[in-house]
Every structure is written in structure tokens, then in C-alpha cells.
Amino acid sequence: MDDILNKLSHCIEFGKTDRASPWPPDMKDQDGAHELALKALELGHSPDLILESLVAGMEVVGRKFSENKIFVPQMLMSAKAMKAAMEHLKPAFESGRAKRKGIFVIGTVQGDLHDIGKNIVAMYIEGNGYEVVDLGVDVKPEQFLAEIEKRPECVVGLSALLTTTMINMKRTVALIREKHPNQVICVGGAPVTEKFCRDINADFYSPDPQGAVTFLNKLAS
């Protein structure tokens, strides 16, 4: 792989967003994902190839997270760097010259106003090359349904932080299943477990964002 693409992967792995960013301290005053993505395009690298090197960096992040070597803050900085680089690739995706891996529709279920966990997952999935539609917090089952009808190929992600609102996940899944029995639905959030996922007839649960990306990648491949 080209030197600049290697550098780009490195920036994603360590969360270097742009030259001005103080994070990580040992990369101070160096080019970040923002500058390098722009340069890579100027040098004539294809958007697909650039995306590939971004995702390669993100895969290392996911592995380190699974191995407990890094935590949420480092993962978020990587996702932020990824987002900065992706901004430059957007025109190529929008014109159809390059392809996103898929569409992920995410929201916190009705009655629940928590968005940190949902935002982390949204950012991380977007950082892994997916288009993310964020419906926000306190999302009614009907809103999920409307979005699915607009984007039939999407995967849906439901979030809940409270034991008192996770019940609404069940209602949301039931309503979606009624109309779209094969819709892929992922669930997550502090009180959610594998067993709960099975009990409410959802398809996938992961305790961390990397698990969701691994699952989506499998579906997309």
C-alpha cells in the first residue's frame, strides 16, 4: 500500500483528526485524517482505495477494543478522524462513483431520552463505511416503520438505557415484524442482554459497537 494510505490508516487507528487536533499527543503538529484524505485524492487514489485504508485502521481499533486495550474515548477519537476523512469522500459516494457498505437506521426507543450510547454506536458504524440515519431519542415504533419503508435494504438498530424503557424495544420489534417479518433488527444498551434480544425476537445483540460492525460486515459481504 502507498505511503500516504498507510499514514491515513495510522491516523484512524490513533484518532488523529487533523493537524490542529492535540490528540494523540505524540502526533502533535502532524497531518491528520483530514489533510491526508485530501492529499490522497489529489494524488489520484480512488475513493474506494482510500475507504479501504480507513477501514483497515478502524479494524485495528475494533480489535484493540475487543481485547480491552483501548476504551470508548479512544474509539470515539478514531471515529472522529474517520468522519473527517469521509467528508472528502462524500461527493464520490453521492455521485455513485464509490459505494457505501450499507444503511443503518438507529434510534433510542420511545420513552427513553438517552443518546450517548446510541451516538457512540452511530458514529462508530458510520466510521466503518456505512450510511447512518439517526432518528434521535424517544423514537416511536411508527417512526422506525416509516424509515424502513423508505429504505427497505436498511438494518435497524434500537437503543435503550433504562430497564423501564427496554420494554418498548419489544413493542417496536413486534410492530416492525408485523409488516416486515424479515427486517434485520439489532438491539443494544446497558440493560440489554443476549437473552432479552432472543426473547423479544430481535436478530442481534452486542455489548459493544465493534460487535455490531462485525455483524453488519458479515451481512454486507
Partner 1 sequence: MTPLSRKGWIELCLRPPVILDGAWGSLLQQRGLPAGTAPEAWNLTHPGEVLAAGKAYVQAGSQIILTNTFGGTQISLARHGLAEQTFEINRTGAELSKRAAGSEALVFGSIGPTGTMLMMGEITSTRMSEAFLEQANALKEGGADGLVIETMSDLEEAVLATRAAAATGLPVVSCMVFDSGPQNHHTMMGITPAQAADAFEKAGAWAVGANCGRGPDDFLPLCHAFRAATRLPLWMKPNAGLPEIEDGKTVYRMTAGEFAELVRPLWEQGGAAFIGGCCGTDPSFIHALQTNPPA
Binding site for partner 1 (CB under 8 A): 68, 70-74, 76-77, 80, 110-116, 119, 138, 162-167, 170, 190-191, 193, 195-196, 199-200
Cβ(51)–Cβ(129) under 8 Å? yes
Secondary structure of the chain: what % helix, strand, coil (to 5)? 55, 10, 35
CA distances (Å), origin 151, targets 7, 106, 131, 183: 35, 13, 11, 11
Which of 98/200 has CB closer to partner 1?
200
Instruction: For partner 1, give the closer residue by CB, 142 or 149.
Output: 142
CA-nearest of 157, 150, 135, 165 to 202 is 157
Closest approach of Cβ 75 to partner 1, in Å? 10
Smallest separation (angstroms) from partner 1 to the CB of 196? 5
Smallest distance from partner 1 to CB 26, Å? 18
Distance in angstroms (rounded) separating the CA atoms of residues 6 and 40? 11
Q: What is the DSSP letter of 97?
A: S
| Of 71, 65, 112, nearest in space to 212 by CA | 65
Residue 150 burial (10 A CB sphere; 0-12, 13-18, 19+): exposed
Residue type, position 181, single letter: P
Residue number, 91 or 191, with CB nearest to partner 1: 191
Q: Report the nearest approach of partner 1 to the CB of residue 205 (Å).
A: 13
Residue with smaller CB distance to partner 1, 116 or 146? 116
In the chain, the amino acid numbered 27 is M
CB 120 within 8 A of CB 134: no
- Residue 68 CB, shortest distance to partner 1, in Å, is 5
Q: Report, in Å, the least distance between residue 13 CB and partner 1.
A: 17
Nearer to partner 1, 46 or 193 (CB): 193
When the beta carbons of 101 and 118 are compared against partner 1, the nearer one is 118
Q: Using CA atoms, how far apart are residues 27 and 36, in angstroms rounded to an integer?
A: 14
Q: Which three cell numbers stand for residue 215?
A: 455483524
